[in-house]
Amino acid sequence: MAQVTSDQIVATLRKRIFDGDLGGGMPLDQEKLAHEFGVGGLPVNEALKRLEGEGLVRQDPQKGAVVLMHTIDDVIEMLDIRIGLETRALKLAIPNLRHSHIAEAEAILATYDEANSPSSWAYLNLKFHLALYRPANRPRLLKMIEDLALGTQRYIRIHISDMLGRDKPQEDHYEILHAARIGDVDAAVRLLEEHITQTQQALVASRKAADARPAN
């Protein structure tokens, strides 16, 4: 059998983190992971470094690698950074959009229309946005956006996926795509900023609702 690669270890651990099987603060023992995946320490170490770069893992002086746990304030700030990066990417991408790019984005949204689970929405949301930004031809910028999106995705799903649902975000996507299709950069950028800001507002509302609940 082919040896498990660091890419496969990253994908497996990322899924466990997103699914909640590995919660915030949980230690990731490198020796146990190496035994589980049947590899030496190097692929595991590489995988944990990549997950750290995605904002999913941090190094604790006592525990070693642990699953990162952000506060809602952290996530709101990360969304501020996403607004800056993603609006820039969209602004650069729109002049380069071709029919094939539009068709790809439309196909993703068609799949999104049929999806019924928050995990599918999160995956398709990121896929749609990256499809729109890719014509910017800024691979480093897109990697930063992807890493930030992956770093915030699980918190958004935990706190507000049910609150936001599918319909309003999807409506935003179609409006952004329409503005991009007709080359209206200002409208597309404004709609995108509003789209991400709504997520921030929903996080704040989720925290207020949690704070208002009586303690057991």
55: pLDDT strictly greater than 80: no
Residue 55, domain CATH? 1.10.10.10
> Domain check: are 38 and 108 in the same one?
no
Domain boundary among 51, 67, 83: 67
> Domain check: are 61 and 105 in the same one?
no
Task: Identify any residues that bridge with 59 across adjacent strands, giving them in sequence order.
Answer: 65
What 3-state class would DSSP assign to 60? strand
Percent with pLDDT over 90 in the chain: 56
Neighbouring residues of 35: CB distance < 8 A, sequence distance ≥ 6? none
Total structural domains within the chain: 2
> Domain check: are 176 and 139 in the same one?
yes
pLDDT in tens, 186-207: 999 999 999 999 989 988 887 7
> Domain check: are 107 and 208 in the same one?
yes
Number of Cβ within 10 Å of residue 43's Cβ equals 21
Least confident of 35-39, 148-152, 158-162: 158-162
21: pLDDT strictly greater than 60: yes
Quote the tokens at residue 18. 């997103």
87: pLDDT strictly greater than 80: yes
Q: What is the pLDDT of residue 165?
A: 67
Q: Is 147 contained in some domain?
A: yes
Confidence of residue 208 (pLDDT cuts 50, 70, 90): confident
> Domain check: are 56 and 102 in the same one?
no
Alpha carbons 118 and 24: distance in angstroms, whole number: 19
> Domain check: are 58 and 76 in the same one?
no
Q: Give the range of the structural domain holding residue 55, as residue numbers without chain letter.
A: 6-67
95: pLDDT strictly greater than 60: yes
DSSP letter, residue 214: P
Q: What is the pLDDT of residue 2?
A: 54
Beta strand segments in 36-184, E: 57-60, 64-67
> Domain check: are 105 and 143 in the same one?
yes
Over residues 158-184, mean pLDDT = 84
Q: Is 1 contained in some domain?
A: no
> Domain check: are 12 and 117 in the same one?
no
DSSP letter, residue 24: T
